[in-house]
Amino acid sequence: TQLLEQSPQFLSIQEGENLTVYCNSSSVFSSLQWYRQEPGEGPVLLVTVVTGGEVKKLKRLTFQFGDARKDSSLHITAAQPGDTGLYLCAGVAGANSKLTFGKGITLSVRP
Amino acid sequence: ETGVTQTPRHLVMGMTNKKSLKCEQHLGHNAMYWYKQSAKKPLELMFVYSLEERVENNSVPSRFSPECPNSSHLFLHLHTLQPEDSALYLCASSQDGVARAGVGLFFGPGTRLTVL
């Protein structure tokens, strides 16, 4: 079983602050995805990373896949209340493997 | 309707009831999934259907019974559930299996199930 550990579990910050959250594993993943889930809704795919060392930007969100493809980080610049939600990472370990989810990071951005 | 829709959004049922959850995807995808989301736990994959055939059944108790009549519709039939089955049940779809790099899941809003 490939476990994905996400940290921190909870984060409450003021609007305008920067933050970085993490998704770590001892397993190697062929691809890794980040989702955001808002209250009362299903998760929405933000990004997929597939190459070790890859960096992808989505407006104020920067995603990085570790060189060894075992971990990933999400950096948010100048957080806004609209960034509030549950951030889930999920990885695929290899061909014909299942998508494994972490427990998620609950982010609250105060106005 | 666009994306993935689920009905009902909320369901309260007794342990002896029989109910069904419905999911419909309007994305032209060929794979559909049921996930269970409980507090403080990772999303748990329950069932996968690819091209209308069940390709995965993750040791789910028989009181949960999936049905996929066509590539756009997925049902989860519930019978004699337990209080610990209370959770958010999410339906998702994708084009081909998620093992293919770059393939993401499109989720519905979920059904919040409470078993009394």
Residues of chain B with C-beta less than 8 angstroms from the C-beta of A33: 104-105
Task: State the pLDDT confidence band at B59, using cuts at 50, 70 and 90.
Answer: confident
Residues of chain B with C-beta less than 8 angstroms from the C-beta of A86: none
3-state secondary structure of A59: coil
Task: State the pLDDT confidence band at A96, using cuts at 50, 70 and 90.
Answer: low
Tell me what the pLDDT averaged over chain B comes to. 91
pLDDT digits (tens, 9 = 90+) for A44-76: 999 999 999 999 999 999 999 999 999 999 999
CA distances from A1 to A33, A62, B37 (A): 18, 28, 18
Residue B11: the pLDDT is: 96
B105 CB within 8 Å of a chain A CB: yes
Task: State the pLDDT confidence band at A91, using cuts at 50, 70 and 90.
Answer: very high
Task: State the pLDDT confidence band at B98, using cuts at 50, 70 and 90.
Answer: confident
Instruction: Say if strands A44-49 and A105-110 run parallel, antiparallel, or are unpaired.
Output: unpaired
Residue A2: the pLDDT is: 59
A48 in Cβ contact with A29 (< 8 Å):
no
d(CA A84, CA A109): 6
Cis before residue B8, ω within 30 degrees of 0?
Answer: yes
B108 in Cβ contact with B23 (< 8 Å):
yes
- pLDDT over 80 (residue A22): yes
Which chain A residue shows the shortest CA-CA distance from B47?
A98
Residue A12: the pLDDT is: 97
Kindly report which listed range (A6-15, B21-30, B95-104) carries the lowest average pLDDT score. B95-104
Residue B55: the pLDDT is: 74
B90 CB within 8 Å of a chain A CB: yes
